[in-house]
Amino acid sequence: MSARAPIRVLVADDNEDHRFLIVRALRDADGLSLEVDSVQDGEEVLDLLYGRGQFAGREKPNLVLLDLKMPRMGGLEVLERVKNDPNLREIPIVVLSSSDRPEDVNETYQLGGNSYVTKPSTLAGMRAGIAELSNYWARVAVLPDTEDAG
Amino acid sequence: MQPFADAIQYLNDALFIALAVVALRQWRARRDEASSWVAATFGILAAVVMFALFLPETGDALWLVWTRKVLIAFLLLFPYTLYRFAGSFQRPGRAMALFATAATGAIIVASFVLPAFPEPGGPRPLWLAVYVYLILVQWSVLSTYVSVQLWRAGAGQPTLARRRMRILAAAAAALDVALLLQAIFPTNGEATPLLIVVRLLSTMSVVLFFGAFAPPALIRVAWRRPEEQALQQAQLGLMAATRVEDVVSTLLPHGVRVVGATSGALIDTHGHVIGSHGVSADWAAAHAPDPHAMRLPLRQGQLVLWTGPHSPYFGREELDLLTRFGVVIDLAWERCDLLEHQRQTTARLEQAQQIAHLGAWEWDMLTGEVVWSDEMFRMLEMTPGDEIPSLDDYLERVHPEDRTRLLASMDASRQFGRPFDMDYRFRLADGSIRTIHGQGHVIAGADKAPRHMIGTAHDITERKMTEEVLSAAYEGERSARLAFERANAELESFVYSVSHDLKSPIISVLGYLDYLKLDFGKDFPPEAMHYIERIASSANYMEALIQDLLELSRVGRVQTERSDVDLNALAHEATEEATAGHPDASVTIEPLPVLSINPLRARQLFTNLIGNALVHSGKPDVHVRISAEISRDGGATVLVEDDGRGIPEAYLDRVFGVFERLDSSGDSAMGTGIGLAICRKVMDALGGSISADPVESGTRIRMRFPAEAVRAATSPAGATQP
């Protein structure tokens, strides 16, 4: 497999601490050239994907790590809008939530979510989980070309 | 003149003889003291008359003189025997008895001792005057005594007896007068007017004696009429009597009067006095066995009458009359008993109806006539005997919503003879509404068409109200249960939300702690590192607590799918996991059943129970034994036992509550105190139960799985794990 362009990962979490831990775990992941961006609610996710407001001109991410419970706009609504937009629906969205409610899991997949992962409660678990996650999406999975789609 | 006088004499003689015959016949029939004295009286009289007929008027032959003396002595016995007759009913006083015997004896002796009586018309010596005077005294005293006694005794006797006794008294008096006249004015047989008067008096006396002792049937019937009328009246009264007491009050006064008794009583076979007349019931009960009392046996007891001493002699026919009357008394008495029985039955029925609030009615559909039982009135707050409302008035008070139905039902009964059965509401006079359950069935008339309808009306207002209250109570209970379930669901959802929100900060705390150690750990003094470790330990404990709370809420909240789980395998896996940190502990697993259960929940059960045994036993080399048995109903009991320090008896149930922990350590390694609560919830959801047995040492947790959860009693034998 040839060298690839750096993977752009968008982390959406309203909890600043969690955002910090996830972003750091992604950056610490060995051997991956990831460009990590983060936003704090669903509105910002959509703004970024559509290149609106402060995010005008930003490149679209190759992967979104989406929290479910966020102010202004929750993760499930973001999921629904993105997966209903032909221009955005190829972008893989991985829900990363502290909820393990079956309802949340089911709805995520019904709305077209690509994966559902519960937030590990320990740092070690978080680091390992994120490493695995980013490794899969950056190395194993073949991602669509978001630039072409946009 | 002479032939007339002689004719009267002959008539008298014949009458005396006839009277003697009647008296003798009566004596033969009765053979009692009174009739024997009567027979003696008139036998003597007849004998004297007959001898006198054949004796020559004159002559002084010795045999003639003595025969005359004997005849005189005999004649002198006449007043005495009459006196004895009267005395046989009521004993005379001692003075009277002494006088009678002495005077009679004296003159009889004198009759023989004295010289021959001089010829009539000749001179009368003094001794003769004294003798005649003595005779007069004896004769008149005794005759007067008899007359007075009988006259007096007649008072209070029935008409026939009274008349007979009074006639007897008059006869004795007439004879007395006749003899007195003859003695005072002796005649020599010439037909003087005086002689004729004397002889007529004698005739009258004999006729009267006849009337007294043997009254002709015609006279008897005439005399007895008042008594017969009274008895007929009584008989009519008896037919109208409805109670035995009525029989007593109707009959006794007449019965007593008819036989000339002083008092009477009606006594049943048990000796109980039903009623009495003239005396108290107590007196009657005490004197019923008196030998002088007259008893009339009845089918159900007896009529006892206390009569005067003369009644059996003079009132014999009335007694016979009363005996015949006994049949009527029996009938009346029996009828009263039947009526009484009917009354009691009716009363009982009424009472039963009253207790049951059950009214009865009867309706003649042809005439429209309606009959109600007393309870029917009472049920509708009316008074028994009130006028029964007309059908229209009745329907007017039936609830409008029920009226049409009631009318239709009644029409169906009237036309087709259908039974009637429905509930309807009825408005009472005070406006309150009662619910009535009406039932009725039709009785066909002779033409097979519905004619009568009889039925019941039952006040079921209370029952209806109770039903309504009960159904309201059921409804209340149901809504309370729903509210409780809703509240429970809300609470679980709340617990879930809270625990979920608590998870976020814990993740942050633990994350930063790790980075703190990772990035700056080498610069920290050991004491700072210790603090960090303490923070991390507390945060971990809190994390475990939240995880368990989430789990607990999930057990109730989330429907889980079941599959067949081999507890043997599961127990081994859980044991392996749990004993990792406890190298000295040992676990024995005996053959366990295969259950239909959610695998995750089953694992929770064993992980929690084995973990608890290892952690809380208080010794590192604790031994745990897991065993199972199948109970008779097909359910499975699984025991998890250890030989640790055990659970105090007071805590045997409390340990299954949330946060119930026997040690207060905040160390996450010791568990969160939620494990057994999760186990209980899992078992409850399965329809089973979990409890801690009171054992002498160690702990024994008992889980009961219902029969429907048991798939197989055993699977390949378990093994001991170190």
pLDDT digits (tens, 9 = 90+) for A49-101: 888 888 888 888 888 999 988 888 889 999 999 999 888 888 889 999 888 77
What span, in angstroms and rounded, lies between the C-alpha atoms of A9 and B535?
32
Give CATH for domain B357-459: 3.30.450.20
Range B283-310 average pLDDT: 82
Residue in chain A nearest B515 by alpha carbon: A123
Q: How confident is the model at residue B703 (pLDDT cuts 50, 70, 90)?
A: very high
pLDDT above 90: percentage of residues in chain B: 3
What span, in angstroms and rounded, lies between the C-alpha atoms of B199 and B174?
11
Is the per-residue pLDDT at B188 higher than 80? no
B510–chain A nearest CA distance, Å = 6
Would you state the pLDDT for residue A148?
A: 45
* CATH 3.40.50.2300 correct for A7-138: yes
Decide if A130 contacts A25 (C-beta within 8 A): yes
Question: Among B335-349, B488-502, B511-525, B620-634, where is mean pLDDT lowest?
Answer: B488-502
B507–chain A nearest CA distance, Å = 5
Report the interhelical angle of B675-686 vs B599-616 (nearest 10°).
Answer: 140
Residues of B in contact with A121 (CB under 8 A): 503, 506-507, 510, 543, 547
Would you state the pLDDT for residue A147?
A: 54
Would you state the pLDDT for residue B118?
A: 65
Residue in chain B nearest A123 by alpha carbon: B511
A70–chain B nearest CA distance, Å = 12
Give CATH for domain B2-215: 1.20.1070
**A18–B504 CB contact, under 8 Å:** yes
Query: Which superfamily is assigned to B560-712 in CATH?
Result: Histidine kinase-like ATPase, C-terminal domain (3.30.565.10)
Average per-residue pLDDT for chain B: 82
Range A35-43 average pLDDT: 90
Would you state the pLDDT for residue B137?
A: 86
- B502 in A contact zone (CB under 8 Å): no
Question: Among B539-553, B609-623, B695-709, where is mean pLDDT lowest?
Answer: B539-553
Would you state the pLDDT for residue B538?
A: 82
Boundaries of every domain in chain A? 7-138
B556–chain A nearest CA distance, Å = 13
pLDDT above 70: percentage of residues in chain B: 93
Interface test with B, best of A121, A127, A130 (most B CBs within 10 A): A121
Closest partner CB to B543 (pick from A24, A121, A126): A121
Q: Return the higher-pLDDT residue of B546 and B423.
A: B423
Range B238-252 average pLDDT: 79
Q: Which residues contact B496 (CB under 8 A, 6 or more apart)?
A: A101, B550, B553, B554, B557
SS3 B358: strand
Would you state the pLDDT for residue A66?
A: 92
Is the per-residue pLDDT at B389 higher than 90? no
- A118 in B contact zone (CB under 8 Å): no
**A121–B510 CB contact, under 8 Å:** yes
Closest partner CB to A121 (pick from B507, B512, B558): B507
- B504 in A contact zone (CB under 8 Å): yes
Decide if A81 contacts A25 (C-beta within 8 A): no
B550–chain A nearest CA distance, Å = 10
Q: How confident is the model at residue B117 (pLDDT cuts 50, 70, 90)?
A: low
Chain B contacts in chain A segment 122-141 (CB below 8 A): 122-124, 126
Is the per-residue pLDDT at B563 higher than 70? yes
**pLDDT tens digit sequence for B403-427:** 988 888 888 888 888 888 889 999 8
Would you state the pLDDT for residue A108?
A: 93
**pLDDT tens digit sequence for A91-132:** 889 999 888 778 889 999 999 898 898 887 677 777 788 888
Q: Return the higher-pLDDT residue of B607 and B315.
A: B607
Is the per-residue pLDDT at B155 higher than 90? no
Q: B221-347 and B357-459 share one CATH topology?
A: yes
Chain B contacts in chain A segment 31-60 (CB below 8 A): none
**B513–A122 CB contact, under 8 Å:** no
B479–chain A nearest CA distance, Å = 28
Range B30-59 average pLDDT: 82
DSSP β-ladder status, B636-642 and B699-705: antiparallel
Q: Which residues contact B455 (CB under 8 A, 6 or more apart)?
A: B360, B361, B363, B420, B438, B439, B440, B441
Decide if B704 contacts B688 (C-beta within 8 A): yes
What span, in angstroms and rounded, lies between the C-alpha atoms of A113 and A74?
14
| Interchain CB contacts (distance < 8 Å): A and B | 47
Question: Among A23-27, B541-545, B691-695, where is mean pLDDT lowest?
Answer: B541-545
- B704 in A contact zone (CB under 8 Å): no
**A122–B504 CB contact, under 8 Å:** no
Q: Where are the alpha helices (DSSP H) in B521-558?
A: 526-557
Fold of the domain spanning B460-558: Helix Hairpins (1.10.287)
- A71 in B contact zone (CB under 8 Å): no
Measured CA distances, B717 to A92, B439, B477, B629, B709 (Å): 50, 71, 49, 13, 20
Residue in chain A nearest B557 by alpha carbon: A101
Tell me the ipTM for this assembly: 0.72
**B504–A24 CB contact, under 8 Å:** no
**pLDDT tens digit sequence for B602-633:** 888 888 888 888 888 888 888 999 999 888 88
Query: Which of left, alpha, beta for B39 (phi over 0: left; psi -120 to 50: alpha)?
Result: alpha
What span, in angstroms and rounded, lies between the C-alpha atoms of B239 and B507?
112
Is the per-residue pLDDT at B121 higher than 80? no
Question: Which of B244, B241, B288, B290 is closest to B265 using CA atoms?
Answer: B288
Is the per-residue pLDDT at B718 higher than 60? no
Distance of CA B215 to the CA centre of its chain: 56
Q: Return the higher-pLDDT residue of B116 and B377.
A: B377
Would you state the pLDDT for residue B684?
A: 85
Q: Where are the alpha helices (DSSP H) in B521-661?
A: 526-557, 567-578, 599-616
Say if residue B430 is exposed, middle or buried (CB neighbours under 10 Å; 0-12, 13-18, 19+).
Answer: exposed
Give CATH for domain B221-347: 3.30.450.40
Question: Among A137-146, B621-630, B695-704, where is mean pLDDT lowest?
Answer: A137-146
SS3 B572: helix
**pLDDT tens digit sequence for A11-32:** 999 888 889 888 888 888 767 7
What span, in angstroms and rounded, lies between the C-alpha atoms of B420 and B458?
13
Would you state the pLDDT for residue B659?
A: 65
Q: Which residues contact B328 (CB under 8 A, 6 or more apart)?
A: B235, B238
User: DSSP assignment of B56-112, as one string?
Assistant: -SS---HHHHHHHHHHHHHHHHHHHHHHHHHHTTSPPPHHHHHHHHHHHHHHHHHHH
Q: Which residues contact B214 (CB under 8 A, 6 or more apart)?
A: B22, B26
Closest partner CB to A98 (pick from B504, B511, B512): B504
- A15 in B contact zone (CB under 8 Å): yes
- A68 in B contact zone (CB under 8 Å): no
**pLDDT tens digit sequence for B80-101:** 888 888 888 888 889 989 999 9
Boundaries of every domain in chain B? 2-215, 221-347, 357-459, 460-558, 560-712
- A98 in B contact zone (CB under 8 Å): yes
Closest partner CB to A119 (pick from B507, B515, B547): B507
